[in-house]
């Protein structure tokens, strides 16, 4: 029996915990917050995420179903089908269901406890030190960093985010809305600074079907002088422009939360001799639109497969397979995404992205690349060309 400690009870950590427990490991998940807890997330799940959740036995039958995406740029609007359908579920509910599935699988979850740093013996990570008054040290054969976008614990293991790769400056709030029952979400392509200058990135209005919508903004880090962007002001402008159409209530009823989301596997390495990194801690979210629930679940499953390999073979060297499998599960899609985010940050690239609100082909391409669900047809040809061109994009 091997002992696994997972740091963080988000989708990545819990998917890993469930898989590792099924494989025969003794798994403890340590979560800083008390569960259930809110997350800064719109709770939009694409087809890949829905498939991972179904495989974990996590029900989403009561989620709000989305059938369409409306791209908006000023007065221009175009609607396309949501590729393979989308679902919206409150993240505190989703994560609580994942936690229940983990407990059913035999995982022990300790919440309200922060992991401070790894315990290192003779150069090897052998467990974690927590902020508990008693039993603060927890020994483990394998430690999994699933501690989200900021990943302070991951950094203490030695992970580094390459700052030259794109990331997304996000901010989100939640409003009451008389249009929350809609089955089409809005993606706005006309973000502006307070000066009126256009900004690369997008905003979303995602209906939750429960009388609320989440409204958020995601600015590409490739924007000129990005650190001077006031994302709260950008969000306020988006809310003002959506207020009448979506019949929004006064203020956000949840505090606005801003996060820098690393994307495209820009955090490396994804593992060491006795540790693995999953989810946002590994920058597993898509560079196209920042969707990360599906990627968190996939990366957690892959980490569990690496742990199962240790149990099967008795060799910890198998953990080295995690980083290449993570890459194989994301490339060449992410490579195209890294190329896209660089291009979208230029004036010409941004103009082309905005043209998607006026052109059916570009709109379809943006929706398929953004959700990661591709259909046979002309977009596939574009995808092939993009994949060939992406050989010039930075490599994970």
Q: How far is the CB of 64 from ligand FAD (least distance, A)?
A: 12
Q: Is 201 in the site for ligand FAD (CB under 6 A)?
A: no
Q: Which is nearer to ligand FAD, 190 or 294 (CB)?
A: 294
Q: Which is nearer to ligand FAD, 99 or 382 (CB)?
A: 99
Q: Which helix (H) or strand (E) holds 168?
A: strand 167-176
Site for ligand FAD in 209-238 (CB under 6 A): 216
Site for ligand FAD in 97-136 (CB under 6 A): 114-115
Q: Is 170 in the site for ligand FAD (CB under 6 A)?
A: yes
Provide the edge-to-edge strand list for the sheet that holds 142-145. 108-111, 26-31, 3-7, 142-145, 275-277, 271-272
How far is it, in rounded angstroms, from Cα 326 to Cα 39?
A: 24
Site for ligand FAD in 2-61 (CB under 6 A): 7-13, 30-33, 39-44
Site for ligand FAD in 291-310 (CB under 6 A): 291-294, 296
Q: How far is the CB of 109 from ligand FAD (least distance, A)?
A: 11
CB 152 within 8 A of CB 302: no
Site for ligand FAD in 253-272 (CB under 6 A): 259, 261
Q: What is the 3-state secondary structure (H, E, C) of 339-369?
A: HHHHHHCCHHHHHHHHHHHCCHHHHHHHHHH
Q: How far is the CB of 165 from ligand FAD (least distance, A)?
A: 16
| CA-to-CA dists, residue 232 to 74, 236, 244, 252, angstroms | 20, 6, 20, 12
Binding part of the chain for ligand FAD, among 1-9, 102-110, 265-273, 321-329 by CB under 6 A, reads 1-9
Provide the edge-to-edge strand list for the sheet that holds 76-88. 44-45, 76-88, 64-73, 184-188, 201-207, 212-220, 167-176, 257-262
Residue keyed to tokens 């006031």: 230
Binding part of the chain for ligand FAD, among 144-152, 189-197, 238-246, 355-363 by CB under 6 A, reads 144-152
Q: How far is the CB of 356 from ligand FAD (least distance, A)?
A: 19
Binding part of the chain for ligand FAD, among 143-151, 193-201, 327-335, 360-368 by CB under 6 A, reads 143-151
Give the distance from CA 368 to its chain's centroid. 17
């Amino acid at each position: 029996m091997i002992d696994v400690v997972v740091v963080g009870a988000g989708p990545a950590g819990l998917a890993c915990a469930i898989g590792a427990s099924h494989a025969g490991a003794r798994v403890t998940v340590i979560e800083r917050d008390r569960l259930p807890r809110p997350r800064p997330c719109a709770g939009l799940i694409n087809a890949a995420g829905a498939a991972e959740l179904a495989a974990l036995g996590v029900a989403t039958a009561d989620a709000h179903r989305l059938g369409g995406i409306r791209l908006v740029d000023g007065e221009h609007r175009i609607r396309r089908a949501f590729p393979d359908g989308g679902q919206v579920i409150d993240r505190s509910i989703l994560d609580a269901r994942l936690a229940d599935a983990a407990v059913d699988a035999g995982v022990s979850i300790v919440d309200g406890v922060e992991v401070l740093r790894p315990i290192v013996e003779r150069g090897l990570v052998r467990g974690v030190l927590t902020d508990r008054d008693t039993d603060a040290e927890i020994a483990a054969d394998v430690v999994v960093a699933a501690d989200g976008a900021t990943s302070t614990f991951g950094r203490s293991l030695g992970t580094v985010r390459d700052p030259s790769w794109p990331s997304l400056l996000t901010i989100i709030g939640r409003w009451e809305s008389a249009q929350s029952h809609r089955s089409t979400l809005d993606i706005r392509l006309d973000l502006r600074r307070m000066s009126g200058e256009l900004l690369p990135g997008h905003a979303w209005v995602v209906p939750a079907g429960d009388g609320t919508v989440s409204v958020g903004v995601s600015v590409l880090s490739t924007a000129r002088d990005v650190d001077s962007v006031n994302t709260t002001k950008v969000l306020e402008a988006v809310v003002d422009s959506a207020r009448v159409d979506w019949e929004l209530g006064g203020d956000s009823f949840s505090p606005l939360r801003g996060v820098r989301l690393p994307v495209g596997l820009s955090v490396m390495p994804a593992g060491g001799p006795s540790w693995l990194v999953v989810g946002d801690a590994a920058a597993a979210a898509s560079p196209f639109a920042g969707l990360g629930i599906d990627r968190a679940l996939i990366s957690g499953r892959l980490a569990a497969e690496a742990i199962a390999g240790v149990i099967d073979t008795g060799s910890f060297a198998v953990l080295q397979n995690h980083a290449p499998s993570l890459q194989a599960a994301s490339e060449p899609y992410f490579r195209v995404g890294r190329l896209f985010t660089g291009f979208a940050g230029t004036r010409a690239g941004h103009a082309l992205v905005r043209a998607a609100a006026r052109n059916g082909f570009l709109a379809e391409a943006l929706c398929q690349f953004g959700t990661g669900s591709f259909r046979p047809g002309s977009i596939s040809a574009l995808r092939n060309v993009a994949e060939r061109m992406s050989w010039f994009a930075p490599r994970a």
